[in-house]
Structure 1
Amino acid sequence: MKKQMFMFIACIAMAFAGLQLHAQGRMNPEDRAKMLSQRMEQQISGLTDQQKDSIEAINLDISKAMQAAFEQNQGDRDAMRSAMQSLQQQRDARLKAVLNDDQYKQYQDMMQNMRRNFRGNNGGGGGNN
């Protein structure tokens, strides 16, 4: 009986985790920007309140632009990839102006880890980028 109860709880937990992952893919730009900003606040040391406000504004602007680019370029992978890369470069440039050198390095490391984890969770990507 205890084993069955454990299996039942484990199945519920796995289903809940799957729903959370699925929901993340359908977040609106505001939620995506907020989640990235919170992650940055956790992983970048020494952020001032002014930097946090700037980071949130930058992430929101870029997240909205990415959503628009996604909607505009559906079906055209090359155009979408180009737009997303351009927007990421814009985010990087704007953040570089807000963060000090050490904080920007922490940001770059965080993004590299996120990309590595994303590729690892999606079967390795699918090509050399």
Structure 2
Amino acid sequence: MKAGDACPCGSGRRYAECCGRLHEKGENAPTAEALMRSRYSAFVLGLADYLLATWHASTRPAELDLSDETGTKWLGLDVKRHQQQDAQHAIVEFVARYRVAGRGHRLHETSRFVREDGRWFYLDGDIDPGSSAA
């Protein structure tokens, strides 16, 4: 992705000024929402190492193979809610739209995040039962 391209997370900012700072420069996300947006962009760009690095150690898989995602076309992200529960915990509810083999899908998830040593991590999430093929 070129630095001047629009960020995949839908912030309206350029990638270099948005998720690119976290992906390429190693900056910490200032909020759980910023981390969630950067993780969405990492899925779009196939950045498995970044996804693993931002996943909390207690729930992180041993490896993440995104090769099955090559047929996925990510269409957009809509952040529905960002709620700071306390200084160390937050939730972010979002809908991510995508296509696989021409068929539309939506993932509606409420994700939990935890902050440790000043860094936000994805902990886990609940997928809305209404998430399915569009």
TM-score clears 0.5: no
Larger helix fraction of residues: 1
Comparing both structures, which one devotes a greater share of its residues to strand?
2
TM-score between the two structures when normalised by the length of structure 2: 0.28
**TM-score normalised by the chain length of structure 1:** 0.29
Instruction: Please tell me whether Structure 1 or Structure 2 has the larger radius of gyration of its CA atoms.
Output: 1
**Higher RCO (C-alpha 8 Å, min separation 6):** 1
